[in-house]
Amino acid sequence: MHGAGKFDLIRKELPGVLTTLGLVGALTAVLFAFVWEIGLAHGSVVYLVPVVIAATRWGIVSAIVAAICGVLASAFFFYEPLYSFRIKDPQEVIDLILFIFVAVVVSQLATRLKRQLEMARQREIDLRDLYAFSRRLAVAFDVSDIHAAIEDHLASVMQRNVVLFPSAREASNSNGRRASVTVPERVLAEVVEVASGHRDTAAGAMVTAASGEIWLVRAVSPKSPEFGVIAINLGLESKEHSNELRIRVDAVLADATATLERLGVAHAISEARMRSQTDQLREALIGSVSHELRTPLASILGAATVLSAAPMLQKERKLTALVHDVRDEAERLNNDIQNLLDATRISSDGVKPHVEWADPADIINSAVERCRHRLVDRRLAVDLPSDLPLIHVDPVLVQQALIQIFDNAVKYSVSGSRIAIDASTRDGRLIVSVTDQGAGLTIAEKSQIWDRFARGERHAATTSGSGLGLWIANAFIAANDGKVSAVSEGPGLGTTVNIELPITQAAIPQLESDADE
């Protein structure tokens, strides 16, 4: 290590030392001219100037070179006998010794000042990095955001290409390509090893890629595997210099890990990860459970309807009432299951509408028909103009959205109240309004009703429901490029739900006349 180290040192100091020599030379020339012209004696103190400059600019080595050269130049040019390094006057010898002492002290002080300045500047950069990092962490939405923030932070601190792999799986799936950096295969293999916990050295491993570049692979934190594994491209450095870099990496990572721990990032990561897994699991569970539940439900409902019509039971009014309960409750359960299935469909793979030209009156009428028994004790007022334009939508989705809105209107209004269904066109849009005389909406409720699992607090105790209905309606209408909105004068003053759907008039192909035949 010594040969190379010394060479490096010389290479680093040489420009400073050479410039110092130049400075001393120039100063000597100026002083010499002064002495020659004015007859000034004792110029040695002036040589403190290059010493201080060298010490602040290039460090202690250059400063000492400046001091020595200054002494030699004074002795040679300005002290008797001239043009010789010998000195006659003992007073001048003391002057020079004093000069050397002052030069060394000044250069020491200046160098220390310089180092402090550099440290302060570095600390400022680090702080700025850290501040940006913590700000990014604060707004990080999910695990991948957090990892990207860690990656960028390390890259800016290390000034090297840094790739962070959150897990072994990610490393083996990534094909080594991440954004702008390509990670060699050998490095990737090591990342997988480290991420799977097969390496227990905290210091990590050096891997020399086929291109000769040296990569350092290590866990970001030996304590918290959530932070992942990083691969840092140290470049084409010598083994020795790499080791120095590695020590710096350790220091930076220790710092970064401490920051991450302070910010509770590990907790945030594992929580975010668990949340997404829980979501997936929940969707899968709801999907399969709902399917499983529907099969026995078909038998229950079928059997109940057979019983309710059986002649032997007709005279037994109490038993018939029970059978009707079984039937009605099974039907309600079926609707709930259907809502859950719709919800899983919306959140797992989105709604894919099967669009066709449809008559809005057909959609509204069949939705009313489907809800007829639920609407039976409401005063229903359907007012549809006979010249409604055809719309290009998935009629079944729009119908189901309407059914949900009718259901909601019935649920929050009293028996005998009026439910009005109107349709009109405005600004190239079809507007279907469902107006009830029910519970109405508070301002807070107005903003919440379209949310998933939204349940009005005023009704949570008295009205059953999953809070999925209007969310499903909204999703189904949105899938048809429409939108839903709710208007209410206030609590107890009824609600109007408006469905807006686009009318693409120009797109309707011209119809051949019936008389042409």
In angstroms, give the least distance from the CB of 429 to other proteins: 19
Q: Does 514 bind other proteins (CB under 8 A)?
A: yes
CA atoms within 13 A on the CB side of 42: 9
Q: Does 327 bind other proteins (CB under 8 A)?
A: yes
In angstroms, give the least distance from the CB of 413 to other proteins: 19
152, containing H or E segment: helix 143-158
In angstroms, give the least distance from the CB of 158 to other proteins: 49
In angstroms, give the least distance from the CB of 278 to other proteins: 22
Site string for other proteins, 134-153 (x = CB under 8 A): --------------------
Extract the runs of DSSP E, i.e. beta strands, from 268-378.
Answer: 356-358
Concatenating the DSSP letter of every residue in 182-203 gives E--HHHHHHHHHHHTT----TT
497, containing H or E segment: strand 495-502
**Hey, which residues between 341 and 380 contact other proteins (CB under 8 A)?**
341-342, 345, 349, 354, 356-359, 361-363, 365-366, 369-374
Please give the Cα distance from 479 to 499 (Å, whole number): 13
114-119, long-range: CB within 8 Å, 24+ apart, which pairs? Answer: 114/55, 114/56, 114/57, 114/59
Nearer to other proteins, 267 or 372 (CB): 372
CA atoms within 13 A on the CB side of 253: 26
Helices 469-478, 317-349: crossing angle, 10 deg rounding:
50
Nearer to other proteins, 31 or 304 (CB): 304
Q: Which residues are CB-contacts of 361 (< 8 A; sequence separation ≥ 6)?
A: 384, 388, 423
Question: Binder to other proteins among 138, 139, 210, 511 (CB under 8 A)?
Answer: 511
Question: Binder to other proteins among 331, 336, 481, 500 (CB under 8 A)?
Answer: 331
In angstroms, give the least distance from the CB of 474 to other proteins: 16
Q: Does 396 bind other proteins (CB under 8 A)?
A: yes
229, containing H or E segment: strand 229-235
Site string for other proteins, 280-299 (x = CB under 8 A): -----------x--xxxxxx
Beta bridge partners, 229, equal 165, 219
**Hey, which residues between 83 and 122 contact other proteins (CB under 8 A)?**
none
299, containing H or E segment: helix 265-309
Please give the Cα distance from 149 to 89 (Å, whole number): 69
Q: Does 397 bind other proteins (CB under 8 A)?
A: yes
Q: Does 330 bind other proteins (CB under 8 A)?
A: yes
Site string for other proteins, 226-265 (x = CB under 8 A): ----------------------------------------
Q: What's the residue count for the chain?
A: 517
Nearer to other proteins, 273 or 294 (CB): 294
Q: Which residues bind other proteins (CB under 8 A)?
A: 291, 294-303, 305-306, 309-311, 327, 330-331, 334-335, 338, 341-342, 345, 349, 354, 356-359, 361-363, 365-366, 369-374, 382, 384, 386, 390, 394-397, 399-400, 403, 508-509, 511, 514-515, 517
